[in-house]
Amino acid sequence: MVFNQACRFSAIVLAATAFAGLLFARSMPSWLAILTVTVLVFAILQTFGWPSGNTVLSGLPNAPSVWNSLLIGAFVLFLLDLTMISRELLPAGIHFLVVLLNVKLMTLHDRRDYRHLYAISLMAILASAALTTDVWYVSIFVFYLLAVVWSLLLHHLTSGPPSANPARAQVSPRATWFITNRFFWLTNGIAVLTFLFTLVIFFILPRISVGVLQKPSGEGLRTTGFSERVDLGMIGSVKEDRQIVMRVELPDQADAGKERFYLRGLAYDQYNGRSWSSGSRHRRSLGGIADGVFAVRSGANRNGYGLSEPLRQDILLEALDTSVLFAAPFAEYVSGDFIGIHVDSMTGLHLPYTSSSRIRYSVVSREHRLSSEDRTAAELEYASAIRDRYLQLPEGSDQVRDLARHVTVSAVTPHERITAVLTHLLSGYQYSLDAETTTSLHPIDDFLFRRKTGYCEHYATAMVIMLRTLGVPARLVTGFLATEWNEFGGYYTVRQRDAHAWVEVFYPHAGWITLDPTPTAASIPSPSMWEGFQRLGESIRLHWDRAFIRYSARDQLAVIHTLREGSDSARDAVSRWTVALGAAALQLMRTFVGQVQTPPPVMTWALLLASVIALSALMLAVRHRWAPGHFTRGMPVKRQQQIVQHYRSMLRIAARRGIRIAPSTTPTELMQHVRRSWSEAESAVVELTALYCRARFGNSSLSGEELLRAVDHIRALQRLARASQ
């Protein structure tokens, strides 16, 4: 490919890369995306000579005025988009930018058009950076960086307009030079150095939290079970939703990931027979004890009984449609980049606002330990405030009261009665996602006495009501039950389907104790073949958000400190990733081998077809890379330039051999010099010179075989030159 053609092609690739960034960010309507793809395909075909001519409208009279009219029309559309359709500057500006991109692709003729296209592409890639923080952007950026280096170098080396039709363009001789292997690797080396320089700038300049072009995230992910009211059956409706809600790290736990992990959201104390609500959601602001650190409660039980060991959680919470902050029960300290945190009367944590972006925060929690006094006491004494609030019962609870008494008939102490109710629900009922109870007038009666299947909120509600009929204060809690451990990143992945409801029972000495009456699902789906690699991808996205998107001055100092102290932690992380990746690959191989032992016919034919395609592509690539003279095949219109390059190579070899060649030396004089000073190379020089003269001055086309012979002569001359040194 000559410089002239490569310059045009690299400019189109640059525009296509910038457009891909906007397309993947989902920032344009479908009709505009289809139009742009069509224009890009047409521009590429035109670069390689089809259809003939420069552009469709280049031959029309007053073409510049036509396009100026189109630009005016595009600006009018931009104003309408800004004021009536999008009503936001960033989306309307992006639509206008893509329209300009299409116009320039269709009128790519003068060198200033190329400079305009470069500027538009730069604005598009910056806009896509403002629209997304996903990890896919790094591939778009690297490809854009490679394309922009090629485009600028080729634009500098071609002094004429890089037209798609060289016959109609007045170009310099440099524009017809061919891209060699040396130029190819030199250009890519410059791109790599540019990328490394960009990384240096990245670590020198920390990220900022907001920007002029930053796009607001809009509405957060819709969640269920964390509003002022929870209807029975609501949580069950999201049990098939795999959308990620948060990721939770337990940095101080060596055996993290081996047990189920509860993340507390909100608690409810009032039940009307069909839904739960809170009698009071009065919130108070937490006091800050340090920069970004808020105290929820003291670190010891005020009654003198201990708590569990502190549990620290680092949480990355997605943008949700609720202001609730989630944490393991029960939070003592919360730290993060917050202006304030509120806590309600049942220790539910809230932000003062609903966040429109991801939130990263840390929590230190401690669970209450059941005391021996509470475990063995024949009767438990509760404060009047606890009895008044957490013993409320809906109307028509007599049947449930009779069941609770029947279940606990042999229990002696309150703790034994609580345990009996828990055991009855765990063993006597079945968990199911097929139970539809949102339309039932008495969902708990249907669950306990007729269906005996239900969701987690049915089990939790039934236990709370049964305990309250026995005089035991209890409340319902909603949150998430994390079970999916990501071994690559060392964190729990919490999804919408992990939404859960459980019970908190009050003991006078210990406080609120967590109990879960919901049995595990009867059938757990087996992991898919690609599940390990999906977890690896999620881990990469998490590290991308932490190390790149939220890179701050504090992180910069941490990097410098780490480099100064040593790389032990980096080696440990690499080792952990390597071991985890090897385990996932081994499991994938075992699963694949187990499946292909008895493969279905469709899978067998698909694997066979894929193998044939891959082998054919490899053979074509090797043949194209190593076949002598491969660059000249299929290019009859450029063979004259090829033989000129070979002739120049012959002149350089002769000069290294010591033959004096002046700018005025004719081909005939060259052959005479070679005959006198380098007789063993005479035959090769004579035939190369004859081919050069016939193609250059005879205006005749050379065949592919003749060009192959020219390549062989050049190689022979190189061997002779090396042998004589």
The 10s digit of each residue's pLDDT in 116-149 is 898 999 888 888 877 776 777 778 888 888 888 8
Rg of the chain taking only CA atoms, in angstroms:
37
What is the predicted pLDDT for the residue at 325? 95
Question: How much is the average pLDDT of 538-560?
Answer: 64
Are 392 and 508 contained in the same domain? Answer: yes
Higher-pLDDT residue of 423, 212 = 423
Query: To the nearest whole percent, how much of the chain has pLDDT over 90?
Result: 25
Question: How much is the average pLDDT of 625-653?
Answer: 63
Residue 327's pLDDT band (cuts 50, 70, 90): very high
Domain count for the chain: 5
Are 41 and 176 contained in the same domain? Answer: yes
- pLDDT reading at 634 higher than 80: no
Question: How much is the average pLDDT of 347-357?
Answer: 88
Residue 10 in any domain: the answer is yes
Residue 495 in any domain: the answer is no
| pLDDT tens per residue across span 518-528 | 998 655 555 55
| Whether pTM exceeds 0.75 | no
Residue 197, SS3 per DSSP: helix
Q: What is the dihedral of CA 343, 349, 354, 360, to 10 degrees?
A: 130
At 591, list the tokens.
């699963």
What is the predicted pLDDT for the residue at 603? 55
Domain that holds residue 577: 531-599
Residue 375 in any domain: the answer is no
Write b or e for each residue in 118-151: b if 16 or more Cβ atoms lie within 10 A of its Cβ, otherwise e. bebbebbbebbbbbbbebebeebbebbbbbbbbb
Residue 32's pLDDT band (cuts 50, 70, 90): confident
Are 49 and 194 contained in the same domain? Answer: yes
Are 137 and 57 contained in the same domain? Answer: yes
Higher-pLDDT residue of 428, 702 = 428
What is the predicted pLDDT for the residue at 314? 93
Cβ-based neighbour number of residue 677 at 10 Å: 13
Are 58 and 87 contained in the same domain? Answer: yes
What is the predicted pLDDT for the residue at 237? 67
Side chain identity, residue 655:
A
What is the predicted pLDDT for the residue at 212? 42
| Least confident segment among 304-308, 398-402, 430-434, 680-684 | 304-308
What is the predicted pLDDT for the residue at 169? 40
Are 508 and 537 contained in the same domain? Answer: no
Pick the last residue of a domain from 552, 577, 599.
599
What is the predicted pLDDT for the residue at 561? 59
Q: Looking at residue 395, which CATH number applies to its domain?
A: 3.10.620.30
- pLDDT reading at 584 higher than 90: no
Are 269 and 343 contained in the same domain? Answer: yes
- pLDDT reading at 596 higher than 70: no
Residue 127 in any domain: the answer is yes
What is the predicted pLDDT for the residue at 563? 56
What is the predicted pLDDT for the residue at 379? 92
Higher-pLDDT residue of 101, 551 = 101
Question: How much is the average pLDDT of 457-475?
Answer: 95
Are 27 and 156 contained in the same domain? Answer: yes
Element (DSSP H or E) covering residue 403: helix 398-407
Question: How much is the average pLDDT of 195-221?
Answer: 57
- pLDDT reading at 56 higher than 60: no
What is the predicted pLDDT for the residue at 416? 95
- Strand (E) positions, 561-657? none
What is the predicted pLDDT for the residue at 334? 95
Higher-pLDDT residue of 534, 267 = 267
Side chain identity, residue 152:
L
- pLDDT reading at 66 higher than 80: no
Comparing CA positions, the residue from 713, 708, 661 lying closest to residue 688 is 713
What is the predicted pLDDT for the residue at 658? 83
From the number of C-beta atoms within 10 Å of its C-beta (0-12, 13-18, 19+), residue 239 rates as: middle
Cβ-based neighbour number of residue 605 at 10 Å: 11
- pLDDT reading at 114 higher than 80: yes
Token look-up 């995306």 returns 33
Residue 303's pLDDT band (cuts 50, 70, 90): very low
What is the predicted pLDDT for the residue at 586? 66
Q: How does DSSP classify residue 713?
A: H
Residue 521 in any domain: the answer is no
Q: How far apart are CA 642 and CA 707, in angstroms?
A: 8
Residue 561 in any domain: the answer is yes
Q: How far apart are CA 480 and CA 431, in angstroms?
A: 17
What is the predicted pLDDT for the residue at 696? 78
| Least confident segment among 88-102, 147-161, 318-332 | 147-161
Q: How far apart are CA 648 and CA 688, in angstroms?
A: 11
Are 117 and 7 contained in the same domain? Answer: yes
Residue 420's pLDDT band (cuts 50, 70, 90): very high
CB within 8 Å of 474: residues ≥ 6 apart = 390, 463, 464, 467, 468, 503, 504, 505, 506
Are 350 and 409 contained in the same domain? Answer: no
Q: How far apart are CA 447 and CA 517, in angstroms?
A: 14
What's the order of all strands across the beta sheet hosting 270-271?
229-231, 275-277, 270-271
- pLDDT reading at 588 higher than 70: no
Considering the chain, what is the average pLDDT of its residues?
78
Residue 461's pLDDT band (cuts 50, 70, 90): very high
What is the predicted pLDDT for the residue at 566? 55
- pLDDT reading at 506 higher than 70: yes
Distance set, CA 35 to CA 15, 38, 380 (Å): 14, 5, 74
Distance set, CA 580 to CA 487, 531, 532, 587, 679 (Å): 6, 13, 9, 11, 67
Pick the last residue of a domain from 335, 365, 395.
365
Residue 373 in any domain: the answer is no
What is the predicted pLDDT for the residue at 503? 97
Q: How far apart are CA 75 and CA 98, in angstroms?
A: 12
| Least confident segment among 425-429, 433-437, 701-705, 714-718 | 433-437
Are 82 and 158 contained in the same domain? Answer: yes
Strand duo 430-431 + 453-454: pairing: parallel
Question: How much is the average pLDDT of 314-324?
Answer: 90
| pLDDT tens per residue across span 364-378 | 999 998 988 999 999
Question: How much is the average pLDDT of 315-341?
Answer: 91
Pick the last residue of a domain from 204, 221, 241.
204
What is the predicted pLDDT for the residue at 59? 43
Are 185 and 318 contained in the same domain? Answer: no
Q: How far is CA 169 from the centre of its chain?
A: 44
Residue 614 in any domain: the answer is no
**Cβ atoms of residues 128 and 21 within 8 Å:** yes
What is the predicted pLDDT for the residue at 329? 92
- Strand (E) positions, 310-419? 311-317, 324-325, 331-336, 342-343, 349-350, 359-365
What is the predicted pLDDT for the residue at 143? 86
